Chain A
Amino acid sequence: MSSATSPSGSSPDVPGVPDVPDVPDAPVGTCPPGTSGVEMKAAAPSPGSPGARPGRPPSAKTALPARPACLAYPAYLAGRLGGALVSLFAVLVTSFFLFRIIPGDPVKAMTHGMPTSAEQLAALRRQFGLDLPLWRQFADYCAGALTGDLGMSYQFRAPVGELIAQKLPATLLLTGVAVVLYSALGLWLGTRSAWRHGRLGDRLNTGVALTLWSVPSFWLGLLLIITFSVGIGPMPGMFPTGGMESGGTAGLAYVLDVAHHMVLPVLTLVAVGYAQTLLVMRSSLLDEMGGDYLTTARAKGLRDDDVRRRHAVPNALLPTVTMVFINLGHVAAGSILVETVFSWPGLGGLFYQALSVPDLPLVQGLFVVFAGAMILMNLLADLLYPLLDPRVGR
Chain B
Amino acid sequence: MTRPMNPPNPPNPPKATWQTDSPGPRKSTRSLQRARRRASVARFWRRYRTHRAGVAGLAGLTLLAVLALAAPWLVGDDVQSVTRAPGRALEPPSGAFPLGTDQFGRSLLGLLVWGSRISLTVGLLAAALSVAIGTLVGVVAGHYRGWISTAVMRITDWFLVMPTLVLAIVLATVLSRSVWTVILAIGVTTWPTTARLVRAQTIAVESRPYIERAKALGGGHRHLMTRHVLPQVMPLVLAQTTLGISAAILTEATLAFLGLGDPTVVSWGGMLQDAREAGAVSSGHWWYLAPPGIAVALVALAFTLCGRAVESVLNPRLGVSR
Pair A286/B321 contact, Cβ less than 8 Å: yes
Pair B320/A198 contact, Cβ less than 8 Å: yes
Q: Which of B1-57 contact A (CB under 8 A)?
A: 2-15, 17-18, 20-24, 33, 36-37, 40, 53
B314 is contacted by which of A12, A20, A26, A375 (Cβ under 8 Å)?
A20
**C-beta contact mask, A209-230 vs B, less than 8 Å → 1, else 0?**
0110111101110110111001
Known: A17-B40, A216-B254, A230-B281. A222 touches B276 (CB 8 A): yes
Q: How many residues of A contact B (CB 8 A)?
A: 81
A305 to B193, CA, bound (A): 36
**A2: B residues at CB distance < 8 A:** 9-10, 316, 319
**C-beta contact mask, B292-314 vs A, less than 8 Å → 1, else 0?**
11001110110011000000001
Known: A11-B17, A215-B297, A333-B163. A4 touches B9 (CB 8 A): yes
Known: A1-B320, A23-B201, A337-B254. A13 touches B10 (CB 8 A): no
Interchain nearest-CB distance for A358 vs B (Å): 6
Pair A363/B173 contact, Cβ less than 8 Å: yes
Q: Which of A95-151 contact B (CB under 8 A)?
A: 98-99, 101-103
Known: A21-B205, A363-B170. A223 touches B289 (CB 8 A): yes
Q: Which of A1-34 contact B (CB under 8 A)?
A: 1-8, 11-27
User: Which of B22, B37, B284 has most chain A Cβ within 10 Å?
Assistant: B284
**B297: A residues at CB distance < 8 A:** 211, 214-216, 219
**B272: A residues at CB distance < 8 A:** 216, 218-219, 222
Which residue of chain A is the closest to B246 with respect to CB atoms? A214
B253 near A: Cβ within 8 Å?
A: yes
Interchain nearest-CB distance for B143 vs A (Å): 16
Interchain nearest-CB distance for A281 vs B (Å): 13
**C-beta contact mask, A360-375 vs B, less than 8 Å → 1, else 0?**
0001001100110011
**B232: A residues at CB distance < 8 A:** 18-19, 21
**A25: B residues at CB distance < 8 A:** 200
**B21: A residues at CB distance < 8 A:** 12, 14
Interchain nearest-CB distance for A102 vs B (Å): 5
A355 near B: Cβ within 8 Å?
A: yes
**B258: A residues at CB distance < 8 A:** 337, 340, 352, 355
Known: A218-B254, A352-B258, A367-B170. A24 touches B6 (CB 8 A): no
Pair B7/A283 contact, Cβ less than 8 Å: no
Pair B11/A5 contact, Cβ less than 8 Å: yes
How big is the B interface, by class?
Answer: 35 or more
Which residue of chain A is the closest to B231 with respect to CB atoms? A18
A13 is contacted by which of B6, B23, B197 (Cβ under 8 Å)?
B6
User: Which of A1, A13, A22, A367 has most chain B Cβ within 10 Å?
Assistant: A13
Pair A232/B320 contact, Cβ less than 8 Å: no
Pair B204/A223 contact, Cβ less than 8 Å: no
A358 to B169, CA, bound (A): 12
A241 near B: Cβ within 8 Å?
A: yes
A101 is contacted by which of B158, B174, B254 (Cβ under 8 Å)?
B174
Pair A90/B158 contact, Cβ less than 8 Å: yes
A92 near B: Cβ within 8 Å?
A: no
**B246: A residues at CB distance < 8 A:** 214
Pair B13/A22 contact, Cβ less than 8 Å: yes
Pair A232/B161 contact, Cβ less than 8 Å: no
B70 near A: Cβ within 8 Å?
A: no
**B259: A residues at CB distance < 8 A:** 356
User: Which of A23, A24, A86, A340 has most chain B Cβ within 10 Å?
Assistant: A23
A298 near B: Cβ within 8 Å?
A: no
B235 near A: Cβ within 8 Å?
A: yes
Pair B13/A1 contact, Cβ less than 8 Å: no
Pair A286/B13 contact, Cβ less than 8 Å: no
B3 is contacted by which of A6, A198, A375 (Cβ under 8 Å)?
A6
Which residue of chain A is the closest to B13 with respect to CB atoms? A22
Pair A226/B12 contact, Cβ less than 8 Å: no
Pair B301/A223 contact, Cβ less than 8 Å: no
**A8: B residues at CB distance < 8 A:** 12, 15
Interchain nearest-CB distance for B9 vs A (Å): 5
A295 near B: Cβ within 8 Å?
A: no
Interchain nearest-CB distance for A332 vs B (Å): 8
Which residue of chain A is the closest to B32 with respect to CB atoms? A14
Known: A23-B204, A286-B320. A378 touches B254 (CB 8 A): no
**A336: B residues at CB distance < 8 A:** 165-166, 169
B151 near A: Cβ within 8 Å?
A: no
A213 to B4, CA, bound (A): 39
Which residue of chain B is the closest to A221 with respect to CB atoms? B281
**B157: A residues at CB distance < 8 A:** 83, 87
Pair B257/A18 contact, Cβ less than 8 Å: no
Pair B197/A219 contact, Cβ less than 8 Å: no
Q: Which of A257-304 contact B (CB under 8 A)?
A: 282-283, 286
A74 near B: Cβ within 8 Å?
A: no
Pair B5/A17 contact, Cβ less than 8 Å: yes
Pair B174/A210 contact, Cβ less than 8 Å: no
A330 near B: Cβ within 8 Å?
A: yes
A–B Cβ pairs within 8 angstroms, 17 of them: A17-B36, A17-B40, A19-B8, A23-B315, A25-B200, A98-B174, A99-B170, A214-B300, A216-B250, A218-B257, A219-B253, A222-B293, A226-B281, A230-B284, A231-B284, A330-B163, A336-B166
User: Given contacts A23-B200, A216-B293, A232-B286, could you give 9 more A-B pairs where the C-beta distance is less than 8 Å?
Assistant: A15-B210, A15-B228, A16-B227, A17-B37, A18-B234, A24-B201, A206-B321, A232-B284, A356-B259
Q: What 7 pairs across the A-B complex have the smallest Cβ distances?
A: A219-B293, A13-B17, A214-B300, A333-B163, A214-B301, A20-B8, A1-B319
- Residues in B lying within 8 Å of A, measured CB to CB: 2-15, 17-18, 20-24, 33, 36-37, 40, 53, 154, 157-158, 161-163, 165-166, 169-171, 173-174, 176, 193, 196-197, 200-201, 203-205, 208, 210, 227-228, 231-232, 234-236, 246, 250, 253-254, 257-260, 269, 272, 275-276, 281-284, 286, 289-290, 292-293, 296-298, 300-301, 304-305, 314-322
- Residues in A lying within 8 Å of B, measured CB to CB: 1-8, 11-27, 83, 86-87, 90-91, 98-99, 101-103, 197-198, 206-207, 210-211, 213-216, 218-220, 222-223, 225-227, 230-232, 241, 282-283, 286, 329-330, 332-334, 336-337, 340, 351-352, 355-356, 358, 363, 366-367, 370-371, 374-375, 378
